[in-house]
Structure 1
Amino acid sequence: MDSTKLQQKVYAGYGKAALRIGPVFDLYRPSSPINPFQYGPVASLNASFNAEDMTYGRPNKYGKPTWFCLVDGTQTQVGDYLINDSQTFFIAAMQPILPILAVDCNRTINVLRPQQQTGEGLLGYGGDTDANETPLMTGWPASVLQGTKGEKGEVNLPGDVRNPWWQMLFPAFLGVNLRTADIITDDLDRRYVISSAELTDLGWRCTSQQAQT
C-alpha cells in the first residue's frame, strides 16, 4: 500500500469515528480576506475534538488552544473552519499519517493597517485614527488568549495597571502579509497592536499588546 492510499484510509477512518461520537459542524473555506464566509458553508461534517489525546482520557487545560480533530480529512484542507452553534475551530495542520491539528477559536477579529506617512514638511495630523486604517482581514475567528506578561503604560500613574499581552492564532490567507504595528480589533471592542507576527506552517502566530485607547 502506498502512502497516498494509507492516508486516505486514515482520514476515512477518522470520518467513520466522527459519525459515531461527533456532532455536525458546517465546513467553511475562506474565500477572501474580507468577509471570508460570504458564500456560506461548503459541506456539513461530523467532527470530534480531543485534548491531543486519542484515548479521550483527559480534558483540555487553561491557555491551550490546540486539539486533535476526528473528521473526514478527505474533505478538509488546512485553513478550513468547522463551526456549529457552540464551537468554532480552524484546521491548522494535516501532516501525513499524524492526527489533524485544530485550533479552538474564542474571538472574531479584524486586522487593520494604520496610515503610513509619506509626505514631508508641514502636514496635518498624522496620527492613526479609525478612519485612516486599511482593513486587511475582517470577520476571522481566532484564538485570542492571554500572554505571559504585561507592559507598563507610558504615563505610568500610580493607579495604572499593566497593558496585557495576548497570543493570537488564526489562518493565513494568500497575499496578506502582517507586520509589526498592524492593528487587531475583536468582537468585544478590544484593540491590540501587533508586536510580532510570525507566519508559520500552521498559520499566523501573533504577539499583541492591548491598547488602552
Structure 2
Amino acid sequence: MDGVKLADRLAYGAGCAARRVGFVHDAFRPDGPEAPLEPAKRFLRLSVAYALLGGSMTAPSGFAEPFRQAWADWSYLRPGDYLAGPEGVAFVAVVEPPKPMLVVMTNAVVTLARTSAPVLAGLNPYGASIRTTETVLVRGFPASLLVGGSADRAKTGLPDDARLPGFTAMLPVVAGVQPSVDDVLMDETGGRFVLTAVETVGAVWRLSLVQAVS
C-alpha cells in the first residue's frame, strides 16, 4: 500500500470514528476577505469529533485553551476551512495525516482595518487616526480572541497608570491581505484592539493586541 492509499484509508477511518462519537458540522471555505460563513460558502456537511490536545474526550476543556484535536474525514478539508456545529465554530489550523487535525475554537467575530491619519490642507490640529479614515481589510471572520500577551500603559503613560490588558487573536490567513503593526481589530461587541505584533504560522495569523482606549 502506497502513501496515498494509506492517507485515504486513515482519513476514512477518522471519518468513521467521528460519525460514532461526534456531531454533524457544516464546513465553509472562505473565498475572500468578508463573511466566510455565508450560506453560499458552505461546501460540505460531515461529522466531526473534538478532543483535548492530550487526547481526552471526557475531561472538560479549560479556560483560554482554544486548540482542539479534531477527528473527521480530513481528505475533504484544508487549513483555513471553518467547521460550524453544536459545539461552536472552529477553523482548521493544521492537517497532518496520520495525526488528527488541529483546529482553533472561536469566541468572537472580528473585523480588521487599517487606519490613516486625516490629511488636511495647512496645519493639522489632530494627527491620530479616526474611524472615517479606516480601510477594512477583513470583515466578519470568526476568531479566537483571548486575554494574554503583552500589555501597555494607558495613554498618559504616568507611572501609576493601570496597564492596558494585552490580548491574542488567531484567525485564518486571508490571501492578498497582510496585517501590520498599528492595524485595528474590532469585535462584534464594539471592542477595539491595536496590533502590536503579527505572526504567520502556516495558515494562521497570530496577532498580539493591546486594548484601545479613547
Q: Tell whether the structures are fold-level matches, with TM greater than 0.5.
A: yes
How many Å apart are 1:77 and its aligned residue? 1.0
Match of residue 73 from structure 2 = 72
Match of residue 165 from structure 1 = 166
CA contact (8 A) 2:150 2:208 kept: no
Alignment of 1:1-213 (within 5 A): 1-38=1-38, 39-56=40-57, 58-115=59-116, 122-123=123-124, 125-155=126-156, 161-213=162-214
SS of the counterpart of 2:57?
coil
Aligned letter for 2:144? S
Question: For residues 151-205 of structure 1, what are the alpha-carbon distances to aligned partners after superposition, in whole Å with 9 as ceiling and x for unaligned?
Answer: 2213257985321000111100111101100000001211000000111114100
Q: Distance in 2 between matches of 1:156 and 1:55?
A: 45
Q: After the TM superposition, which of the residue ranges 142-151 and 130-139 deviates more from structure 2?
A: 142-151
Aligned letter for 2:191? R
How many Å apart are 1:23 and its aligned residue? 1.1
Tell me the TM-score normalized by structure 1.
0.90
Q: Distance in 2 between matches of 1:125 and 1:164?
A: 26
CA contact (8 A) 2:118 2:133 kept: no
How many Å apart are 1:149 and its aligned residue? 4.8
Aligned-residue RMSD, C-alpha: 2.3
SS of the counterpart of 1:103?
strand
Q: Distance in 2 between matches of 1:198 and 1:112?
A: 17
Q: Distance in 2 between matches of 1:176 and 1:210?
A: 22
Q: Distance in 2 between matches of 1:206 and 1:148?
A: 9
Tell me the TM-score normalized by structure 2.
0.90
How many residues get paired?
213
CA contact (8 A) 2:23 2:47 kept: yes
Q: Distance in 1 between matches of 2:121 and 2:3?
A: 60
CA contact (8 A) 1:30 1:80 kept: yes
CA contact (8 A) 1:31 1:37 kept: no
Identity %: 29
Q: Distance in 1 between matches of 2:168 and 2:63?
A: 13
CA contact (8 A) 2:82 2:89 kept: yes
